[in-house]
Amino acid sequence: VLEVTVNCRVLTTGYSQERKFSGPLEPMTFSIFEGQEASQVIFQFKAKPPAVNFKLTGETDGIFQIQSDGLLYHNKALDRETRAVHRLQVSTLDAQGATVEGPVPITIEVKDINDNRPMFLQQKYEGSVRQNSRPGKPFMYVNATDPDDPATPNGQLLYEIVIQLPMINNIMYFQINNKTGGISLTVDGSRELDPSKNPSYSLVVSVKDMGGQNENSFSDSTSVDIIVKENIWKAPEPVEIVENSTDPHPIKITQVQWNEPGARYSLTDKEKGPKFPFSIDQDGSIYVTQPLDREEKDSYVFYTTATDEGGRWLSVPLEIRVKVKDINDNPPTCPSAVTVFEVQENENIGSNIGTFIAHDEDEENTVNSVLEYRIVDQIPKFPKEGLFLVQTYSGVFQLAAQSLKKQDTPQYNLTVEVADKDFKTLCDVQIHVIDINDQIPIFEKSDYGILTLAEDTAVGSTILTIQATDADEPFTGSSKILYRITQGDSDGRLGVDTDPQTNAGYVIIKKPLDFEATAIHDIVFQAENPEPLVYGVNYNTSSSATFKLIVTDVNEAPVFSQRIYQAKVSEGVAVGTKVGNVTARDPENLDISYSLRDDRRGWLKIDPVTGQISTRAPVDREAESMYVVHVVATEIGGSYLSSIASFHLTLSDVNDNPPRLAKDDAGLFLCHPLQTTGSVIFEATDDDQQSFLGPQFTFSLDSEFLQNNWEVSKINGTHAKLSTKHTHFEERVYNVPIRIKDGGRPPLERVVSLPVTFCKCVDGSCFLPAGHHSGMPTVGMAVGILLTTFLVIGIILAVVFIRIKKNGGKDNVESAQASEAQPLKN
């Protein structure tokens, strides 16, 4: 097969411009397929007198010859891989050998045939990959070459993994970019690879020419051995930082590392505190940026994330725990300015007076917070020193030497030293000697009668005042009165508060009264002192009193078993599926009817008797991931009172939304005419819930007929690039059908139409003349419309003018006649 180009015009093999094999000597280009048999005629040139012979020079390589009659031919088969273009010169000579015409350039283009097989550069490849590496990101490449023309299908190579060993559950863990030979993990491989189970894998990779589309294509194969390395993206051990460090900051405390270089690291404070004294650099080193104070905050929890260049997570964040290690930087503190204890006179030696508890802000249960107590002074020292002692570690005060008498000394002032291992603090303690508790409280009356209250009486209401008196020394533990209810209130609905000045007891409602639970309360009050009675004295019936409380019924609304009910279902559940159940109880034991409120989308229904909630229409997570309705429980009969509870339905995702273009890509354009192949980038999305790795879409042309003009290559999980495969495009809009498939189970796909405009460009922007816009009138149309408008207006004005002129003459005659017939009026 031979193609001939003459002055940019292609001639069919065997014909000149006059549809012959011959023609005048002029610059010409011939295209000849390689591998054809020898002695093939190319063209016969005609000489102009006085030329009688032809001469051939240039890159003939001993292949091309020309006869004296101008017949150009090749005597050997051509080989494009040896020389793709032969540049020849043809001249005509006269009888004396002098040049008449020329030399004229003749170009022979050798067209490729698929006569070479692709070959891998290596018979065996070795690589490694970290477990949990990002799917789709190549960790190694295999490369093959083919001497055939890469601009033709003969040299277009397609890579494919044909064997994976071991193959677990028939799932491919590895994938290959069929154009570049880049090997990466699949989503399953990123999730499942584990060096403790299978430390290595073997692949067989094939390469085919002809883009793998021809059954006669050549192929080659190679083996690939892959070592699986342990995931190094792991949370480090908890870190301990000594508080109030004086070392220069920032200080490196730990480090994280992603499985591959190029990750970008950041920190997120889990607790969202007012300050966050940590930072991370792009090597994954984590620093504390300032001294920490354990007493201000004793621990920190935060997360570190690794993202790609687009800001997408490469894996789940790692939790970093920091504990602030205590140093003894706080002295003990006294519980109050003065601590007061009481001791009865004639108390036995060894009796406990009270417990003194100091505080230390340092860490509990460490040597820094262990306190020791010691009495260093006693005032007065009468009748002797050392009347009291304190337990060294517990702080318990005891009477040490002898019984005390109030008439001798009613009060002792002690100075107590509290010490940790580095600090000491002095605290003041007062010990009051009080009269012995030999008198019991006596109620002013033993029966406080009957009180009737509605069950909805407000909590906190004071319903009764009781009073007992005590003859012991006023304002001491011997005379102070504490009231408690010993009978008739097992649910603790009532309480009694004591007035410290008068010892009056105020009976208060602590919990709501409940007629249905208890309608009558027979209450018994007991009055007691905080100080123990002396030996031989006991409380008797004078220290108790009775009271009857009658609770009356109030119609109450039903009560739900809980305020908020929660349930979770898949958005793909069938209509009629039970999703939850609510229960309510009416205090008066009336029947209850259930209904729904705020069911805006009409997704749910409820059984009015049982409270069972089920779907009555398909639910859609993408419309609302948590659907909140209110359940109303209404009593049947009575006052038809009702109460409300919330029902929260969480919808889990199913893959029910096919991919789509993320935005209107009508603005995609390429400048016309193309100087070289061009490309545009587009983005896909879908409305389903995505994993932490984000969407994982695959992209392809919808028709193989488009592959001569376009190709689609994936950039990442959401973006792809549409590239032209040549430059011969018209200046118009091309709607390219793209098939987008998601990574769901089962996967969904959609064919979208991606508009790409080829247009003239001005300053890098697409320029479309106004005449090219649909719906816009041309200049000629606009002028025609304008002239037509003026013509109509002129005709209307002419008609009006003529009518006015006629009516004006007639009116003048009539007016004159009227003037003659009628006299003037005053």
The pLDDT-based confidence of 809 (bands split at 50, 70, 90) is: very low
pLDDT in tens, 296-325: 899 999 999 999 888 888 888 999 999 999
**Average pLDDT for 474-483:** 91
Lowest average pLDDT, out of 14-18, 95-99, 479-483, goes to 14-18
Q: Does residue 677 or residue 8 have the better pLDDT?
A: 677
**Pairing between strand 318-325 and 239-242?**
parallel
Q: Check: CB of residue 24 under 8 Å from CB of residue 48.
A: yes
Is 156 buried (19+), middle (13-18) or exposed (0-12) by CB count in 10 A? buried
**Average pLDDT for 463-490:** 92
CA pair distance 824, 826, nearest whole angstrom: 7
The pLDDT-based confidence of 818 (bands split at 50, 70, 90) is: very low
Q: What is the pLDDT of residue 795?
A: 76
Q: What is the pLDDT of residue 81?
A: 87
Listed residue (75, 18, 10, 74) closest to 46, CA to CA: 18
The pLDDT-based confidence of 666 (bands split at 50, 70, 90) is: low
Listed residue (142, 167, 162) closest to 212, CA to CA: 162
**Average pLDDT for 16-45:** 79
Lowest average pLDDT, out of 402-411, 423-432, 539-548, goes to 402-411
Q: What is the pLDDT of residue 692?
A: 59
Q: Check: CB of residue 352 under 8 Å from CB of residue 343.
A: no
Q: Check: CB of residue 556 under 8 Å from CB of residue 639.
A: no
The strands making up 504-509's β-sheet, listed across from edge to edge, are 442-443, 462-469, 504-509, 494-498
Distance of CA 230 to the CA centre of its chain: 26
Residues sharing a CB contact under 8 Å with residue 774, sequence separation 6 or more, in sequence order:
none
Q: Check: CB of residue 668 under 8 Å from CB of residue 682.
A: yes
Q: What is the pLDDT of residue 804?
A: 60
CA pair distance 351, 633, nearest whole angstrom: 61
Q: What is the pLDDT of residue 472?
A: 86
Give the angle 240-245-246 at the CA atoms, nearest 5°.
155
Tokens of 175: 């994938």
Listed residue (626, 632, 490, 621) closest to 560, CA to CA: 632
The tally of CA atoms less than 13 A away on the side-chain side of residue 143 is 4
Sole residue written with tokens 């417990």:
355
pLDDT in tens, 119-129: 999 999 999 99
Sole residue written with tokens 């043809």:
90
One-letter amino acid for residue 495 of the chain? G
CA pair distance 12, 10, nearest whole angstrom: 7
CA pair distance 466, 497, nearest whole angstrom: 10
Widest pairwise Cα distance in the chain:
162
Residues sharing a CB contact under 8 Å with residue 801, sequence separation 6 or more, in sequence order:
none
Classify residue 154 by its DSSP letter: G
The pLDDT-based confidence of 810 (bands split at 50, 70, 90) is: very low
Q: Check: CB of residue 760 under 8 Å from CB of residue 772.
A: no
The pLDDT-based confidence of 784 (bands split at 50, 70, 90) is: low
Q: Return the SS3 of 817.
A: helix
Classify residue 457 by its DSSP letter: P
> Which H or E run includes 189?
helix 187-192
Q: What is the pLDDT of residue 214?
A: 72
Write down the number of H helices and E strands in the chain: 2, 59
Residue 280 has pLDDT above 60, yes or no: yes
Q: What is the pLDDT of residue 557?
A: 87
CA pair distance 612, 605, nearest whole angstrom: 8
Q: Check: CB of residue 310 under 8 Å from CB of residue 716.
A: yes
Residue 687 has pLDDT above 90, yes or no: no
pLDDT in tens, 609-620: 999 999 999 999
Sole residue written with tokens 């209404």:
634
CA pair distance 593, 586, nearest whole angstrom: 11
> Which H or E run includes 3?
strand 2-6
CA pair distance 735, 148, nearest whole angstrom: 33
Q: Check: CB of residue 94 under 8 Å from CB of residue 100.
A: yes
Q: Does residue 768 or residue 573 have the better pLDDT?
A: 573
Q: What is the pLDDT of residue 645?
A: 95
The pLDDT-based confidence of 113 (bands split at 50, 70, 90) is: confident
Tell me the percentage of the chain whose pLDDT exceeds 70: 91
0.85 cut: is pTM over it?
A: no
Q: What is the pLDDT of residue 794?
A: 74
1-5, 34-38, 209-213, 673-677: range with highest mean pLDDT? 673-677
One-letter amino acid for residue 610 of the chain? T
Listed residue (471, 437, 466, 440) closest to 451, CA to CA: 466
Tokens of 461: 């209401």
Tell me the percentage of the chain whose pLDDT exceeds 90: 60
Listed residue (9, 44, 10, 7) closest to 27, CA to CA: 7
Buried b (16+ CB within 10 A) or exposed e, 280-316: beeebbbbbeebbebeebeebebebbbebeeeeebbe
Residue 486 has pLDDT above 90, yes or no: yes
Residue 483 has pLDDT above 60, yes or no: yes
**Average pLDDT for 382-396:** 93
Residue 736 has pLDDT above 70, yes or no: yes
Residue 9 has pLDDT above 60, yes or no: no
Listed residue (576, 691, 597) closest to 643, CA to CA: 597
Q: Is the peptide bond before 383 cis (omega within 30 degrees of 0)?
A: yes
CA pair distance 706, 600, nearest whole angstrom: 47
Distance of CA 662 to the CA centre of its chain: 17
CA 392 vs CA 333, 369, 371, 414, 546: distances in Å: 16, 14, 8, 15, 47
Distance of CA 793 to the CA centre of its chain: 67
Q: What is the pLDDT of residue 774?
A: 44
One-letter amino acid for residue 416 of the chain? V
Lowest average pLDDT, out of 51-55, 254-258, 527-531, 554-558, goes to 554-558
Residue 822 has pLDDT above 50, yes or no: no
Give phi and psi for 386, each to the nearest 5: 70, 30
> Which H or E run includes 565?
strand 564-570
Q: What is the pLDDT of residue 799?
A: 63
Residue 169 has pLDDT above 70, yes or no: yes
